[in-house]
Structure 1
Amino acid sequence: MDFDTIRNHYGILIVLSTFISRIIFNGFCWSYGTVIVQLKKQHLNISDTELSLIGSIGQSFGGLLAPLILFLARRYGYQLTFICSLLTCVISLFISSLIHNLHWLLITYSLPYGFANAAIFILGTLICGHYYPVNQHIKHISIMCIISTGFPIGYHIMSAWVFSSIEKNEWQIMKRHLAFIELIATCILGPIFTMKYSSNIPLEYQRPSITVTQNNNNRKSRFSLPIIVWLIGIFTTMSAVNNFLLHLESYLKYLGFASARADLWFRLHGLFDALFRLSIPLFIHLYPVNIIYLFPTCVFTGFIFLLLVFGLLYTSINALAILPIVLFSFTSAVTTSLQYTVSNQLFDKDETEQGYIYHVIITSLGLILGPIIGGSFLDLTGNYKSIMLISLMFLLISFISFSLTILLSNKKEDTHQSEQN
């Protein structure tokens, strides 16, 4: 059996391990809204801003340190960094289950789990990018969309499990049970996660052969106006999405919806998010389109769906709000699953990984700050309508940013072609 055959077959195991790790590890932190509802019941004096901080940092803190994660992977290997990240999640869950002062959750859960959670996500994307590079266009997009379904399916499954576990036991016991499950998953997934059979071995972190002039040119291209405007769009989109998702269950309960229905609606959103991700490769195969155009499309439709949610929840037919809630998942499906691929278009061909790291940093900022901004306005106004209005404002900015980036990029290409002629 030749190396290419082994690589192709082993790539399936890499995709599977990445997918499962996102279901279990990433899925839990994206289901933390269920835990927040329980914390709010037990501790009425804790503010929505602080609860938002605990949840959002637990989801995305590590993304701010994405360059460090990339450095550790290149310095110590993808497998060792991945295993250490899985173990960090296990230890974080166990320690945070022992505390009684909620203020310590930020130290025992949010920061360590947030860093390890992002490392698991980033390493999974990068290693799949090596086994299935961008030049294998349809296969690459298919793999990226498949692994990206891991965390929406994860918070569909984990939210149901967390909700059921908390109903039977306290949230501390639920965390201990999950720590044991994650420990078993670590023992199974860790040995599989290796670059050994990839033909595209990542370069060392230090590249002495690159000249100072080349580095300066790369910096200019990385921070050009179109890229800056594009990253603003990524930030505001993720701020809107996470602000909406993290407060969704609390919002529905505030409006009088039963806890079980609020949990079901949240999980249905996750299920449709996964379905949209799986449909993207099929859509691109049937209707070849530059994926960059999907970004302004998804935020525009997200804006419309969120308006419908906002309107329907305050009517006698509020049960119909489930339809725009699940359709709103198209926004997060496109924005998160295609970031690695679109980096290949926005950045130089040898800067795809670096471009993806910038996407991760900005995405994490949005995921952290979006719910905090929403929670702060909720504390100030005492009205959950402010949550919706903040998300709508973010989506409007996103649409302008993505559209402007495309216009600037097209104008730059036209100028370049004119100069060549």
Structure 2
Amino acid sequence: MHLPTVSVICISIDMLATVVLFVVALGVSVGDINAERAALKLKVAQGVCAATKALKSVHRYTVEKVKEAEGKLEDVQNMVKLAKLKVLREKKAGSVDCRTMAFFLNYTVKKVSGMIELLPKIREQGLNLTASAGIAAGRLEEMINVFHQPSDRQESDIFFCIAGKQGEGVTKSELADCFKGGRDAIDSSHFVAFGDAEATKGWQDIFKEKDGLEGALKKHLTVDDNDPRFTRGEGRGCQLVHGMQGGGYIKDANFTEHMLWGDGILGVKKDGNGTTGYVGSTRGSDYDHDILWEKDPTASVPSLHATVSDYHSFSGLLHKYDTIYRSVTEEWTADLIQRDPEATDLLTASELTVEDVAALNSRTKQEWLSQKHAKEADKEFLMTEIRFCGKLKRRGFIRRMVKKILGGLRISWTSEG
């Protein structure tokens, strides 16, 4: 069973179109260059886009981890199969050491049961993680999609909400981790899709780091100098950061709460004019600055917090699963066996010593465990069982069974006729 593709739509197209038109109409139509209505600096927006791209790669990560887990279960089940076959082959000759093989089978089957129990939980948590990551990416992109569009020039004054490299409004090509194939702010390019993010070389590197996805998100969403504003607050007429009555996009209305963008990665003070900016708690009741960038995004932004929580749960299940797998596949030594209560209990019950079963699971030292035998194990297992069934020769047994079946069919047809 593999994880299906999960698609998450965070806002409707109609709603998005309304917001876009509203912003384009009001975002840069009035106001002059002064200390008010500052723009966001390019690096901040690029960090948000890098975070969304990392979130979109979660889907492929979970799919591959589930496949890997399924492969490990099959691997251990093959070991059990080969052990049973060894017992069947050698029982007649009397050469099999029943006590050691009983230990091998009892111990390994217990571990297989644990893996079988965990695998559905891994699949389910992988789906939860993929969905959470998709929602979080959508909330961040929603903000970028609104902020990147206001851009205008009035004589020598240039207005925008995200600065580009040239000191003008940002272009989509400068936000390549968000947009695919775009150059201008209002062209027809589209957001980077899950498949695009997953096809990026090195996409899996973030999951190999000690802090994994959480560390990557913190890195991308940390702002330089604790200030998200372009040129430390030079006014660019961005109405989106103006929360005061009589300006911005609320006209004469009053905000009753601080305005949150990107699920709270950015906060706008309800009575601020977009002059000052710093990092802080965007969901706090008191703002010391007009523009706040969330200082602890993976803990305080709900969609990111949910994603990180699901990521840790998924990682925890994988760790538990891999621990069981290693207990079966890593060569048994005195140290490994004595650290496992299940193993020591089985040894005591069977009156075996650690030395009796050391390296019993080694695929290099135990030729019968070689993977080359696994492909033919089912066939050999079946034939061995058939030979034990009344000690009949294989051909004779099969011929008699076929005759019996065909004879029964003829009788059945005759009676029905």
Please give the TM-score of this superposition, normalised by the length of structure 1: 0.27
Whose helix proportion is higher, 1 or 2?
A: 1
Structure showing greater relative contact order (alpha-carbon pairs closer than 8 Å, 6 or more residues apart):
1
More strand by share: 2
Per the normalisation by structure 2, the TM-score is 0.27
